[in-house]
């Protein structure tokens, strides 16, 4: 069964959510070598995450690509706003709702900040109602790599 981790950040803005998602993708890739999908709300957000991953986290290179580009097949971190190909490792969800395809992943990371706290609560209720194992991590600012 898919494990669901909620990361609740003290920060309130979406920029903090995006930075944390980049760090989480880098950490997941380094820790277990599984493919990581960063699922954005829409194409402009996916492109923002793509740009951010070139420079963040500092002093690390995270090989990544946008879905639909020629590089997508050769990279272990895929950024998308659509249903991804058959990855099954880690899904970092930045979308407002629960992606229909979430349960094919071993692990889902939900990143919640103040701007989307109500949406995060709705997603939490969705998973809880269906019996998924839920874990929450309250992140202090220094743990999120803010800035």
pLDDT, tens digit (0-9, with 9 covering 90-100), for 20-78: 999 999 999 888 778 999 999 999 999 999 999 988 877 778 889 999 999 888 889 99
Task: Please state whether beta strands 107-112 and 134-139 pair in parallel, antiparallel, or not at all (unpaired).
Answer: unpaired
Provide the domain limits for residue 29: 3-144
d(Cα 131, Cα 134) in Å, to the nearest integer?
Answer: 9
Give the CATH number, domain containing residue 51: 3.40.50.10110
Mean pLDDT for the chain overall: 90
pTM: 0.92
For residue 62, the 8-state DSSP code is -
Domain count along the chain: 1
Provide the 10 A C-beta neighbour count for residue 1.
9
Amino acid 45: pLDDT: 96
């Amino acid at each position: 069964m898919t494990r669901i981790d909620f990361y609740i950040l003290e920060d309130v803005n979406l920029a903090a959510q995006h930075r944390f998602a980049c760090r989480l993708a880098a950490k997941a890739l380094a820790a277990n070598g599984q493919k990581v999908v960063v699922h954005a709300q829409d194409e402009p957000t996916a492109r923002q995450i793509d740009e951010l991953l070139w420079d963040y986290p500092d002093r690390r290179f995270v090989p990544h690509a946008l879905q639909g580009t020629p590089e997508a097949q050769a990279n272990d971190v895929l950024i998308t706003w659509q249903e991804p190909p058959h990855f099954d490792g880690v899904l970092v969800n930045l979308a407002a709702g629960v992606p229909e395809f979430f349960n094919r992943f071993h692990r889902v990371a939900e990143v919640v900040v103040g701007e989307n706290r109500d949406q995060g609560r709705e997603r939490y209720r969705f998973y809880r109602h269906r019996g998924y194992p839920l874990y929450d991590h309250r992140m202090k600012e220094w743990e999120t790599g803010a800035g």
